[in-house]
């Protein structure tokens, strides 16, 4: 009992360290990506930290599954290297005795992955999509930030302002570059204000400025000084949001409206808790380490198994979306394959079996006994 508690304690400690490293890497990559989008005018500057926090929530199911896998793998590999497993086997304990402490450690994480993948992640994806769509549907002037060049939604105008007062709907020191019907124009003005007409159309009214207009490559340009100049703003404040994608919908919504995209999303949400559980158990036989062969062999195999597992689920998602495979088959096929591999590895470690049954090897050697070249390849004399 004391030894099992020590195992769970070591597993938890390793899991905390692994999760910290993985989350730091993912958080840093997400931060750089979102800051780049904000600098390019694709994300609202005021929503950067909110989107970053929501993006971190969406990555938690995968991070927790990988954390459970690596934590069990590291803990048992250390036990093999320090000869603790020799003592474990010498005391009459089998490799299957590790199932209880590992399950005690992994089950809370598996339940957390289930909650995150079915409830929290869809909500976070919905909030991110809604924030991006609302920002994209704002008018061109409302998207302008001081000191940056912002392109309009139809790439016909480029705005630059020194100061913006969104509450008062005023801008100062304005630069606008336009391109219409092969002619380019540049407008500079000292100030401007947003006005709404009775028809509901909105205009950016500039004051005290100049407008330069001409055709690129030609010397003839026209310059006009003005005291008041109005630019129509393509505002879409009341435009309806696009239909949310399948990954943004809740579990009841996916079940209520079966479709290939909804079934593919269900395949991922149902699969994540199973991935976390099966990988935690699979790490027990994969953690076997032979000190004479080095420490990295089992880690390389473990990483390949993890990547192949997730890739298989994503490939089956694509087949379900294209209606090339039924949901009833895709929902269990990858997990059944990993479960079969799990049982095979346990049997091989518990009963000390080879990769190929010995009777098959003996039968093949008897078959090749009359062939000198083949017999020599098997290490026997003709």
pLDDT tens-digit map of 313-324: 999 988 998 889
Q: Which of 158-172, 279-293, 325-339 is most confident?
A: 325-339
- Phi/psi-derived region of residue 217, left when phi > 0, alpha when psi is between -120 and 50, beta in every other case: left
d(CA 269, CA 313): 11
Q: Does the pLDDT at position 129 exceed 60?
A: yes
- What pLDDT, on a 0 to 100 scale, did the predictor assign at position 258? 82
- Cite the DSSP H helix spans in the chain: 2-39, 48-81, 84-90, 99-115, 121-136, 251-256, 260-286, 296-321, 327-330, 333-350, 358-367, 372-377
d(CA 365, CA 362): 5
Q: How many CB atoms lie within 10 A of CB 140?
A: 22
> 372 vs 228, which has greater pLDDT?
228
Q: Kindly tell me the burial class for residue 15, based on how many C-beta atoms sit within 10 Å of its own C-beta (0-12, 13-18, 19 or more).
A: buried
Strands across the sheet containing 170-180: 150-151, 157-165, 170-180, 183-196, 202-214, 221-233
> 373 vs 233, which has greater pLDDT?
233
Reported as a single tens digit per residue, the pLDDT across 51-105 is 888 888 899 999 999 999 999 988 888 887 777 777 777 776 777 778 888 999 9
Q: How many CB atoms lie within 10 A of CB 349?
A: 17
- What pLDDT, on a 0 to 100 scale, did the predictor assign at position 240? 39
Residue with structure tokens 């808790």?
273
- The full set of domain ranges for the chain reads 2-135+243-351, 150-233
Whether this model's pTM surpasses 0.75: no
CA torsion sign for 324, 308, 119, 109 is positive
Residue 225 DSSP symbol = E
Q: What value does the mean pLDDT take over residues 195-207?
A: 70
The first and second tokens of residue 347, run together, are 């049997």
Q: Does the pLDDT at position 366 exceed 80?
A: no
Q: Does the pLDDT at position 238 exceed 50?
A: no
- What pLDDT, on a 0 to 100 scale, did the predictor assign at position 378? 46
């Amino acid at each position: 009992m004391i030894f099992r508690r020590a195992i769970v304690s070591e597993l938890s400690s390793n899991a905390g360290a692994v999760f910290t490293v993985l989350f730091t890497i993912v958080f840093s990559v997400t931060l750089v990506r979102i800051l780049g989008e904000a600098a390019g005018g694709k994300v609202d500057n005021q929503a950067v930290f909110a989107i970053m926090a929501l993006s971190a929530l969406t990555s938690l199911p995968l991070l927790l599954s990988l954390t459970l896998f690596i934590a069990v793998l590291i803990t048992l590999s250390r036990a093999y290297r320090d000869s603790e497993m020799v003592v474990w086997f010498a005391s009459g304990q089998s490799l299957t005795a590790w199932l209880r402490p590992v399950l005690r450690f992994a089950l809370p994480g598996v339940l957390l992955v289930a909650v995150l993948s079915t409830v929290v992640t869809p909500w976070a994806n919905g909030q991110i999509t809604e924030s991006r769509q609302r920002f994209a549907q704002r008018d061109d002037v409302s998207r302008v930030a001081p000191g940056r060049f912002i392109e309009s939604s139809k790439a016909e105008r480029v705005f630059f302002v020194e100061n913006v007062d969104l509450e008062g709907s005023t801008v100062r020191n304005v630069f606008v570059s336009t391109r219409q019907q092969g002619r380019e124009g540049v407008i500079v003005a000292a100030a401007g204000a947003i006005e709404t007409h009775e028809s509901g159309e909105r205009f950016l009214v500039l004051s005290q400025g100049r407008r330069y207009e001409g055709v690129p490559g030609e010397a003839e340009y026209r310059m006009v000084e003005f005291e008041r100049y109005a630019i129509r703003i393509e505002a879409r404040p009341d435009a309806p949001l696009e239909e949310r994608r399948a990954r943004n919908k809740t579990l009841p919504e996916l079940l209520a409206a079966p479709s290939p995209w909804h079934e593919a999303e269900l395949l991922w949400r149902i699969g994540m808790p199973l991935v976390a559980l099966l990988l935690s158990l699979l790490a027990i036989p994969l953690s076997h380490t032979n000190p004479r062969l080095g420490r990295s062999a089992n880690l390389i195999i473990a990483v390949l198994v993890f990547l192949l597992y997730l890739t298989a689920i994503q490939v089956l998602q694509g087949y379900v979306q294209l209606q090339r495979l039924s949901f009833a088959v895709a929902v269990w096929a990858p997990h059944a394959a990993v479960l079969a591999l799990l049982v095979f590895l346990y049997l091989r470690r518990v009963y000390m079996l080879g990769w190929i049954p010995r009777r098959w090897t003996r039968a093949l050697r008897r078959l090749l006994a009359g062939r000198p070249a083949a017999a020599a390849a098997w290490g026997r004399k003709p």
